[in-house]
Amino acid sequence: EDKVVQSPLSLVVHEGDTVTLNCSYEVTNFRSLLWYKQEKKAPTFLFMLTSSGIEKKSGRLSSILDKKELSSILNITATQTGDSAIYLCAVGRRSGGSNYKLTFGKGTLLTVNP
């Protein structure tokens, strides 16, 4: 059975801090790892990673995949209160033909205090 574990489950920081969120996985036929931000209902796409060691960056957020360690980290620098959300990690594997389904972790609840 596919498994995605995120840590920590929750984190409280002050504005300006840097945070690192962790995701580890066990999945057959691994295809990709995705990070989403969920503030209310809809998860919002952040990154999709398929290759080990290549950092993806968007503003203050960055992420990298380590296929040898079966893990990924999401870094947020100079945090702002608007970064407060649940960060979800998901792993995609081949399913029913050419497309794939995602298995999600429980998420990390990040709270950024002013």
**Is 30 or 36 the residue whose CB approaches other proteins more closely?**
36
CB of 84 to other proteins, least distance (A): 17
List residues near other proteins by CB under 8 A. 4, 32, 34, 36, 40-45, 48, 88, 90, 95-107
Category of 42 on φ-ψ map: left (φ > 0), alpha (ψ -120 to 50) or beta: beta
**Is 41 or 68 the residue whose CB approaches other proteins more closely?**
41
Token pair for residue 108?
Answer: 């990390």
**Is 87 or 112 the residue whose CB approaches other proteins more closely?**
87
Instruction: Please check whether residue 71 is in contact with residue 24, taking contact to mean a CB–CB distance below 8 angstroms.
Output: yes
Spatial separation of the C-alpha atoms in residues 95 and 103, rounded to whole Å: 12
